[in-house]
């Protein structure tokens, strides 16, 4: 979060007429494509690549700071950054900008011939050694300097032999200090102590430090004095400071900013249009703004900002040949289902969440407060940021599907709770039915309850009992029977082995397939036909539909979604959906030839009736 806010506050305050570069180590998703908008940008697409080069440079240094090895990596920047970069500003991720960074760039012009580093004086008494008895800090010039904001003249650093300079200093001091306490900052200060002429002291408001022992209030008397706020306490936003509420509100302002503001054509620096941008422009020009269904067609080509793996994910099991991941998507109003699903499904999960920037922070707080979610490392959360008026359901499904790293996927919806033990049952079924060598889609029968509080069935026998008692129903039996009727629930009641069913019009079961299955058709947004179209394509590719006899999921009740309300109330919405269905049938017929004629023929016959 702090890293995202640092970027947001910098860019939203930035007057880009200066056209200076900005390096972002994987804070913004690749879909932002900032490097495509401005040749001055240096966008590091994968911070892991940078870390691979930096780690061996500093790994030998013992460090007690909570940042670990990452807190030392600024020392090695001259080894990894391009040689043509002469001026570099290095920022900690826990800073918030309150002014235009162009003002900071301008300070390079004030450097004397000997100065190579710009720093703000440290605003605590740490390096004076008087914080507690027997406190022995690393050597520093006076109060020392803080490395949360650094200006570097790279060409001069190279000429001064920076790498040898800091290495020799670190080796010498470590003989008596044994480890660093403040990571790279200790080594920077030890170098400056020996070479005071290399530092250009920045005004204190360029790094207002909120550490535990700070004296930063001496630095500012009014809001306009603030340039950069540095949350350099391990407590971060919970630090004790008499002005912390003001600083926290400023931080939250940038945290919840609509990130789409950073994608608008406010970027006035000259740049060449990327191939992707050109393609998008051509697609926009092909749309007819007088088309009644323009909004539907425009949604299909919207380039949503995406933040993959929003929270820590650590699951790789390449040895599990029957591994299966639950794949689904949701919006903020279904967030409570995530914890419930995690209690029912112990296997890996890939979730695409459709959220605003502010909602993403609410989700973060929810996830961090939940013991169930905190304890899971095999759930991939992928944020797709809101844009446009429709819920891009199939885009979300495809994003979640693409991030799966198991051979198989269980494609479901967020409102369904899987039976306890479904993950292991599916793994066994995958092996028994030889999905590795045959095109099969395993159907998990779907039921529903109208009760918000349900004693969840623990076995098929309990499901059958609850069906007889009217506590459970087959899914949508009273609203959309066609959607699941081909599952043949009457046969399922007595089945003990998987059985084959045939595709029928409007069939939309929840299935287990190989992860290389067809993607969902993204023309379908909001409500209607988003799953039906996918099952049609599975059938067109000759997938065999097999119903599992001892598997089930239960749909939990909820308020109608905004999109289904629009479908029910808007005749134009329904008309556009019919148009999209017709176009889909034409496209599927062209794609699969005679195999797909039955879908088009059936569609035309039904339209005449």
Mean pLDDT per 10-residue segment, the chain (609 residues): 60 53 41 38 54 88 90 90 88 85 93 96 89 88 95 94 96 95 96 97 90 74 75 70 71 74 55 61 74 81 89 82 96 94 97 94 92 94 92 96 96 96 97 92 95 90 94 88 93 97 94 96 88 94 96 89 79 86 88 79 58
Q: What is the second-level CATH architecture of the domain 306-569?
A: Alpha-Beta Complex (3.90)
Residue 74, φ and ψ in degrees, nearest 5: -60, -25
Q: Are strands 544-547 and 499-501 parallel, antiparallel or unpaired?
A: antiparallel
Domain boundaries, the chain: 2-19+62-76+86-257, 306-569
Contact 136, 48 (CB under 8 A): no
- Confidence (pLDDT) at 433: 95
- Confidence (pLDDT) at 450: 87
Model's pTM, two decimal places?
0.76
Helix axes of 597-608 and 571-592: crossing angle, nearest 10 degrees: 150
Contact 98, 227 (CB under 8 A): yes
Classify domain 2-19+62-76+86-257 at the CATH topology level: Spore Coat Polysaccharide Biosynthesis Protein SpsA; Chain A (3.90.550)
* CA-to-CA separations, 557 to 343, 351, 355, 363, 451, in angstroms, rounded: 18, 20, 22, 22, 7
The closest of 95, 104, 177 to 136, measured between CA atoms, is 177
Distance of CA 194 to the CA centre of its chain: 44
Cβ neighbours, 10 Å, residue 405:
16
In tens, the pLDDT along 253-286 reads 777 777 777 665 544 444 445 666 677 777 776 7
**CA-to-CA distance for 570 and 566, rounded, in angstroms?**
6
- Confidence (pLDDT) at 315: 85
Q: Kindly report the CA angle at 378 between 374 and 381, in degrees rounded to 5?
A: 75
- Confidence (pLDDT) at 516: 94
Distance of CA 20 to the CA centre of its chain: 27
Residue 567 burial (10 A CB sphere; 0-12, 13-18, 19+): middle
User: Same fold for the domain at 2-19+62-76+86-257 and the one at 306-569?
Assistant: yes
* CA-to-CA separations, 409 to 382, 430, 435, in angstroms, rounded: 16, 11, 12
Q: Kindly report the CA angle at 423 between 422 and 427, in degrees rounded to 5?
A: 110
- Sign of the CA dihedral running 245, 251, 256, 261: positive
Reduced to 3 states (helix: H, G, I; strand: E, B; else coil), residue 98 is coil
Q: Are strands 446-448 and 473-474 parallel, antiparallel or unpaired?
A: antiparallel
Contact 383, 310 (CB under 8 A): yes
**Helices and strands: H and E segment counts in the chain:** 22, 22
**CA-to-CA distance for 601 and 302, rounded, in angstroms?**
32
**CA-to-CA distance for 324 and 548, rounded, in angstroms?**
15
Reduced to 3 states (helix: H, G, I; strand: E, B; else coil), residue 161 is coil
**CA-to-CA distance for 253 and 247, rounded, in angstroms?**
10
- Confidence (pLDDT) at 51: 74
- Six-digit token string for 398: 């495809």
**CA-to-CA distance for 336 and 372, rounded, in angstroms?**
12
């Amino acid at each position: 979060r702090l890293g995202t806010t640092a970027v947001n506050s910098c860019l939203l305050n930035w007057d880009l007429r200066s056209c200076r570069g900005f390096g972002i180590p994987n804070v913004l998703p690749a879909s932002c494509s900032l490097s495509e908008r401005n040749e001055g940008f240096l966008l590091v697409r994968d911070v892991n690549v940078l870390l691979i080069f930096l780690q061996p440079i500093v790994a030998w240094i013992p460090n007690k700071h909570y940042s670990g090895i990452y807190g030392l990596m600024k020392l090695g920047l001259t080894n990894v950054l391009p040689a043509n970069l002469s001026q570099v500003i290095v920022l900690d991720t826990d800073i918030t900008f309150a002014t235009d960074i162009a003002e900071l760039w301008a300070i390079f012009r004030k450097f004397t011939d000997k100065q190579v580093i710009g720093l703000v004086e440290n605003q605590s008494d740490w390096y004076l050694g008087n914080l507690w008895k027997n406190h022995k800090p690393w050597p520093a010039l006076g109060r020392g300097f803080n490395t949360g904001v650094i200006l570097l003249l790279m060409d001069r650093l190279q000429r001064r032999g920076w790498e040898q300079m800091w290495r020799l200093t670190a080796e010498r001091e470590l003989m008596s200090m044994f480890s660093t306490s403040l990571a790279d900052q200790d080594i920077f200060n030890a170098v400056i102590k020996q070479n005071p002429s290399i530092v250009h002291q920045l005004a204190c408001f360029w790094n207002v430090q909120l550490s535990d022992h700070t004296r930063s209030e001496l630095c500012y008397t009014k809001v306009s004095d603030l340039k950069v706020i540095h949350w350099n306490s391990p407590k971060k936003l919970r630090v004790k400071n008499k002005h912390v509420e003001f600083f926290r509100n400023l931080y939250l302002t940038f945290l919840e900013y609509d990130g789409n503001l950073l994608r608008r054509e406010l970027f006035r620096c000259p740049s060449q249009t990327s191939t992707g941008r050109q393609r998008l422009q051509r697609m926009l020009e092909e749309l007819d703004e007088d088309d009644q269904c323009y909004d539907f067609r425009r949604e299909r080509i919207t380039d949503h900002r995406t933040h993959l793996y929003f929270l820590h994910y650590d699951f790789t099991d390449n040895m599990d040949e029957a591994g299966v991941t639950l794949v689904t998507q949701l919006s903020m109003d279904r967030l409570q289902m995530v914890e419930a699903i995690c209690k029912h499904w112990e296997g890996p999960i890939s979730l695409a969440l459709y959220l605003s920037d502010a909602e993403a922070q609410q989700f973060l707080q929810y996830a961090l407060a939940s013991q169930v979610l905190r304890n899971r490392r095999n759930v991939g959360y992928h944020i797709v940021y809101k844009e446009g008026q429709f819920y891009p359901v199939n885009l979300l499904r495809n994003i979640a599907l693409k991030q799966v790293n198991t051979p198989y996927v269980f494609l479901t919806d967020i409102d369904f709770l899987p039976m306890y033990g479904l993950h292991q049952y599916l793994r066994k079924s995958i092996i028994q039915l030889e999905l590795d060598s045959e095109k099969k889609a395993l159907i998990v029968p779907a039921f529903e309850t109208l009760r918000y509080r349900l004693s969840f069935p623990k076995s098929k026998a309990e499901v059958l009992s609850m069906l007889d008692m009217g506590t459970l129903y087959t899914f949508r039996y009273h609203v959309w029977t066609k959607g699941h009727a081909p599952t043949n629930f009457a046969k399922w009641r007595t089945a003990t082995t998987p059985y084959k069913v045939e595709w029928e019009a409007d069939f939309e079961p929840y299935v287990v397939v190989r992860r290389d299955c067809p993607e969902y058709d993204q023309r379908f947004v909001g409500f209607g036909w988003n799953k039906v179209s996918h099952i049609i394509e599975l059938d067109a590719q000759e997938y065999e539909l097999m119903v599992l006899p001892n598997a089930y999921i239960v749909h939990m009740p909820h308020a109608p979604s905004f999109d289904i309300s629009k479908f029910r109330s808007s005749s134009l919405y329904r008309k556009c959906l019919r148009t999209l269905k017709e176009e889909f049938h034409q496209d599927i017929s062209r794609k699969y030839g005679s195999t797909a004629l039955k879908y088009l023929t059936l569609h035309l016959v039904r339209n005449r009736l």
